[in-house]
DNA sequence: GATGAATGAGCATTCATTCAT
DNA sequence: TATGAATGAATGCTCATTCAT
């Protein structure tokens, strides 16, 4: 499930509109996501972004109030995309799966979102920490929503719900292992499913060994 | 072992030098490490850095040829610091330790370097990917040296040397879990040793489960 | 013939355009030519130039990619202006004029371009040698085109075509005498036609005496 | 006569002093002359100059009060060098030479000074016009002294003394032809004596033709 | 005589932003 | 919707200069 609906997707997709790749709002967001992900927030200039969508820098201001606002939208789409993707996979799996299986599913969905997504989620992960405070604070609640999914997932694992600090560390270690892949994953060399399996074994091993720890 | 010698540490520290706390080369490096770590490479301006060490922006150029060169030095000190710290801990443990114990030691040393170090190592980890190509290429060999330590460490684990792709993924997952802590670790709330234990369990569980996987 | 068309002159001059005297591209070029000629390339700052056309330094970059690029355009206009002026005078004289007369015509046209031109040609002559290599190399072909006119002119003089090294020296001596006037010519004191006559006598004397030399 | 005494030559030349090419006043002047000639006044930085003589920029201030003062000295040496060289050649020729021969001698001496001189005279000719007003005004009298030699030389030619404006133009044309050689003379390709002959013919032809003009 | 270390002013350039059209 | 043209602030960097040592 890789092309979940975008929150801003109001215009009819596929209807006979003249949306021939010219600079619509969505084109800007797409290009911004890609550039943010590739070069970072600071290193992405609005001129370059405008250029990428075939317009002039000033024109972007018809669509977005500021670079910060644009970043907020891009990064929000990014979190929402993972959130939706993970939720959808989990729901699709139905109620009869073990907590461990649920974690495995989430690992795969998260990886899928950051590695094969259009760039929104990876832009979020790579840029968020380097973004102005105003951007970060606007994103806190959406980020929290996603975080809560993982908190729930981990808590269900082998009684971890009763050791919240440990659960927190396991969650952050898992997400670290997942997110860090943005810095090294090479589609030509690495296989996503292989890595998913590695991370899955990591976390399940850890939570399993806990009793004897 | 948290205060390993800095590669550039030639002048006697603590002897009666006239270093009146003002901006010497080392002061600049220290402040740069801190700022790079806090705000990122792009967002750190030389004026701000100069201000932090009590001088004017142009004066920095007496000590460093360019912002890039300064970044190269800061980040190089950063890798060398972890490299030395991990090596030293490993050596101190002596030859009679199991591969699993060696990994545990490395995990702790790495965490220590990024979380309680003066900022050089964390600056490296946070800034490197957003740094100009010229900076990155100058750092490749020192980075490789550190990487090789981990490659060796993981290879010794339960026959992982014979499954290099899997070993690579385990190494990267571990380092991801470790490095990502820079984004969330809160000295007031989190205990480093606790997290080290979590990561240690993760990786050891993963490598142990492999046989039965 | 002092107001030959500028190579970049595409917009209607004098028509009812809203060019309210503020800094359009042409205004910048004009002011740059004047400043380059007066103070030299290095001593002309973009702030000063911008000021001269009533804008801020950064605004110049909307019109020109860099100071070097601006210099290239100014100096190119300068050579093209003399080239066109000399060519036009020569053509206007028709085919029935002697080689000596042709040289006389060229001397006057060249002098006119450097002394009463808007400053482009004199900017070229005064700045070119002190300009960055990147600027010089971009101008080589236009300069060559002008040079060739003179080479042809001199070669036709009293069999000079068969003594190319001597012809070269005569050409360069003539152009030296002409160009150097930029360093001393004083419109209040000197008469252009008087000086033209002097230089004309110089070169014609020299080429005539050659046989007996 | 190419190594006339320098006005600043106070230290014993050839005596057993430790003047081993280290940064003495004379070394600075020599290097400054060379750099000024090659790159121009503005483009020559004191750091670069200091580097060329093996010292640090600040040390130059022990020897010279400012860049302007240094330029004044270099350029003054330059004019004095031509002045002395031309005078000496003229004196050496004795009283029995014709005005035309005297001009020929001066042409050669001038050319020699700008083309094979250590760089002082050529630095003067190339830099003077781009030098700050303070520098120019300090040089006016030495320049005038040299100018007067040429004025006298030309005035003696075929009754030119009675047509001062014409004499002035002939003088400036001659010096223009001579000085401009700095922009094109190539020691590998051009022969100084050849060019001297060309210029000599130019001026003598011009002044001779004057009667019939 | 010369240096290490700094400064203040300036430079070319880039950037997010504005706004009349 | 978008652009052309501009702005103000900032950036990395260079320069002539200073001065205690």
CATH classification of the domain holding C150: 1.10.357.10
pLDDT at B203 over 90: no
Contacts with B, A 180-199, CB within 8 Å? 180-181, 183-184, 190, 194-195, 197-199
CB C198 within 8 A of CB D166: yes
Q: What distances in angstroms separate CA A138 from CA A28, A45, A71, A134, A143, one per listed residue?
A: 20, 21, 10, 6, 10
A40 is near strand E: CB distance < 7 Å? no
Calculate ∠ Cα A210-B2-B3, nearest 5°. Answer: 175
B130 in a structural domain: yes
Between A37 and C202, the higher pLDDT residue: A37
pLDDT at C200 over 80: yes
| pLDDT band per the 50, 70, 90 thresholds, residue A204 | confident
pLDDT at A211 over 50: no
Our measurement of the distance from residue D128's CA atom to the centroid of its chain's CA atoms, rounded to an integer in Å, reads 11
DSSP state letter for D16: S
Give pLDDT, residue B211. 40
For residue B196, the chain A residue with the least C-alpha distance is A169
Q: Is D205 on the interface with C (CB under 8 A)?
A: yes
Between C117 and C70, the higher pLDDT residue: C70
Give pLDDT, residue A23. 54
A184 in a structural domain: yes
Give me the CA D68–C1' E6 separation in Å, rounded. 22
Give pLDDT, residue B208. 56
Per mean pLDDT, which range of A166-170, B170-174, D115-119, D179-183 is the poorest? D115-119
pLDDT at C118 over 90: no
Tokens of B87: 């090596």
CB D78 within 8 A of CB D4: no
| pLDDT band per the 50, 70, 90 thresholds, residue C206 | low
Please tell me the total count of domains within chain A.
1
Give pLDDT, residue C199. 95
Nucleotide nearest to A25 (CA to C1'): F1
As a whole number, mean pLDDT of residues B158-162 equals 84
Between A23 and D42, the higher pLDDT residue: D42
Give pLDDT, residue C95. 92
Q: Which long-range contacts (CB under 8 A, 24 or more apart) does D122-125 make?
A: D122/D37, D122/D78, D122/D182, D123/D32, D123/D33, D123/D34, D123/D36, D123/D37, D123/D74, D123/D75, D123/D78, D124/D74, D124/D75, D124/D78, D124/D79, D125/D78, D125/D179, D125/D182
| pLDDT band per the 50, 70, 90 thresholds, residue B23 | low
Task: Show the domain range for D137.
Answer: 71-209
Which three-class secondary structure state does DSSP give residue D10?
Answer: coil
Give me the CA A127–C1' F7 separation in Å, rounded. 29
Between C121 and C212, the higher pLDDT residue: C121
D43 in a structural domain: no
pLDDT at A58 over 70: yes
| pLDDT band per the 50, 70, 90 thresholds, residue A65 | very high
- Pick from A172, A181, A210: CB nearest B201: A210
Q: State how far the Cα of C99 lies from the Cα of D39, in Å rounded to an integer.
A: 38
D25 in a structural domain: no
D14 in a structural domain: no
Give pLDDT, residue A208. 56
Per mean pLDDT, which range of A113-127, B118-132, B155-169, C195-209 is the poorest? C195-209
B100 in a structural domain: yes
As a whole number, mean pLDDT of residues A66-79 equals 98
As a whole number, mean pLDDT of residues A150-178 equals 93
Give pLDDT, residue A202. 87
Question: Which position has the token pair 């001397």?
Answer: C107
CB A27 within 8 A of CB A21: yes
Q: Do D201 and C183 touch (CB under 8 A)?
A: no
C123 in a structural domain: yes
Give pLDDT, residue A193. 97
Closest protein residue to E10 (Cα–C1'):
C45
A200 in a structural domain: yes
Q: Chains contacting B with at least 3 CB pairs below 8 Å?
A: A
Give pLDDT, residue B206. 65
Give pLDDT, residue C207. 64
CB contacts of C181 in chain D (<8 Å) are 172, 176
Mean pLDDT of chain D: 88
Interface test with C, best of D131, D173, D190 (most C CBs within 10 A): D173
Between D212 and C47, the higher pLDDT residue: C47
For chain C, percent of residues with pLDDT exceeding 90: 78
Q: What distances in angstroms separate CA B1 from CA B5, B149, B196, D181, one per listed residue?
A: 10, 18, 16, 70
Give pLDDT, residue A206. 65
Instruction: End-to-end CA distance of chain A: give it in Å, rounded.
Output: 37
As a whole number, mean pLDDT of residues B91-105 equals 95
Q: Taking each helix axis as running N to C, give the angle between helix D120-127 and helix D25-39, from 0 to 180 degrees, rounded to the nearest 10.
A: 50
Write the Ramachandran bin of A209: left for phi over 0, alpha for psi from -120 to 50, otherwise beta: alpha
DSSP string for chain C: ---PPPTT--SPSSSS----SS--HHHHHHHHHHHHHHH-TTT--HHHHHHHTTS-GGGHHHH-S-HHHHHHHHHHHHHHHHHHHHHHHHHHH-TT--HHHHHHHHHHHHHHHHHHSSSHHHHHHHHGGGS-HHHHHHHHHHHHHHHHHHHHHHHTSTTGGG-HHHHHHHHHHHHHHHHGGGGT--TTT--HHHHHHHHHHHHHHHHHHGGG-
SS (H, E, C) D114-166: HHCCCCHHHHHHHHHHHCCHHHHHHHHHHHHHHHHHHHHHHHCCCCHHHCHHH
Query: pLDDT, tens digit, for every residue of D65-115?
Result: 999 999 999 999 999 999 999 999 999 999 999 999 999 999 999 999 999
């Amino acid at each position: 499930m890789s092309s979940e609906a975008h929150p801003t997707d109001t215009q009819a997709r596929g209807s006979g509109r003249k949306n021939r790749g010219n600079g619509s709002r969505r084109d800007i967001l797409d290009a911004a996501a890609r550039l943010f992900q590739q070069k970072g927030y600071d290193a992405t200039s609005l001129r370059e972004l405008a250029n990428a969508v075939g317009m002039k820098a000033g024109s972007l201001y018809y669509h977005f109030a500021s670079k910060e606002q644009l970043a907020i939208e891009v990064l929000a789409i990014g979190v929402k995309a993972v959130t939706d993707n993970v939720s959808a996979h989990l729901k699709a799996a139905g109620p009869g799966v073990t907590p461990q299986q649920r974690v495995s599913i989430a690992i795969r969905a998260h990886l899928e979102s950051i590695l094969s997504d259009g760039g929104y989620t990876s832009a979020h992960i790579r840029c968020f920490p380097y973004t102005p405070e105003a951007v970060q604070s606007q994103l806190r609640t959406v980020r929290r929503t996603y975080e809560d999914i993982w908190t729930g997932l981990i808590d269900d694992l082998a009684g971890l719900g009763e050791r919240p600090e440990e659960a927190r560390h396991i969650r952050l270690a898992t997400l670290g292992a997942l997110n860090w892949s943005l810095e090294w994953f090479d589609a030509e060399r690495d296989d996503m499913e292989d890595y998913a399996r590695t991370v899955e074994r990591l976390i399940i091993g850890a939570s399993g060994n806990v009793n004897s720890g």
